[in-house]
Structure 1
Amino acid sequence: MLIGIIAHESGFSRDTIRYYEKIGLLRLPKRARRENNYKEYSPAILSRLRAIKELKNIGYTLAEIQQVIMSYETGGLDCLAGKAQVLEKVRLIDQQITQLLAIKQQLLEAVVDCPNHCKITAILDNTLIGI
């Protein structure tokens, strides 16, 4: 499959696929190039892209995905260690949710007195005076 087909089938853009190659998430054998220098992507690459997409959808970063895939390929994927990592991610997500809720509350408070008093203008007036 050429990159256009693999992009369409995987839902990733061509640039994203090239980026994944560059950072090592996708590895193509040297023989993957055709005579015209186009790359030939195998069904295995499509499967890998689909796995990457699913892992991204549940919150894994590219670095974490690379680590998980490498562990899987070497037979070192440990379910108990993976569980601890997932629970740590959940803890961090809970922390982010708390921070986002606090920001949301501050934004709501910033507009509560609009249009009579603009908190954003007040912040700018207090910090940009004399600049």
Structure 2
Amino acid sequence: MLIGAIAQLSGFSRDTIRYYERIGLLGLPRKARRENNYKEYTPAILSRLRAIKELKAIGYTLHEIQQVIESYEVGGLDCVTGKEQVLGKVRLIDEQIRQLQITKRQLLEAVAGCPDHCKIIAILDQTLMQNG
């Protein structure tokens, strides 16, 4: 398959596929070129792209996907290890949510006194006027 066909079948753009190749996610062999120098994509590459899409859909980053695929390919990924990784990611998400809730609360407090008192302007007046 050429890149246009694999892009259509995978749902990724040509640029995304090329990017995944550059960062090593696809592992395309060097001899995957035709005589006219076009790359030949195998059904295995399509399967990998579909796996990448599904892992992205459940929240994995490209770096995490690469690690998971590499672990899987060398037989180092089992259900217990996978569960530990997922639970670690859930803990990270919980922390990010906590941080976002703090930021949200601070932003709401910043506009609570509007229009009589703008905390943003007060911060700028206090900090910029000291240096000005």
TM-score by length of 2: 0.88
Q: Give 1:29 shift.
A: 2.1
Identical aligned residues as a percent? 77
The residue aligned with 2:103 is: 103
- Whether 1:68 aligns to 2:68 is yes
**Structure 1: where are the runs of 5+ without partners?**
none
CA displacement 1:7-59 (0-9 Å, x = unmatched)? 23222222221121112110122332122222121221111011011111212
Task: After TM superposition, list the pairs within 5 Å mapping 1:1-131 onto structure 2.
Answer: 1-129=1-129, 130-131=131-132
Moved over 4 A (4+): none
Q: Which runs of 5+ in 2 are unaligned?
A: none
* Separation of aligned partners in 2, 1:9 and 1:83: 30
Deviates more, 1:73-82 or 1:96-105: 73-82
What letter corresponds to residue 81 of structure 1 in structure 2? T
With normalisation by structure 1, the TM-score equals: 0.88
- 1:59-81 per-residue CA deviation (whole Å, 9 max, x = no partner) reads 22222211211121122212112
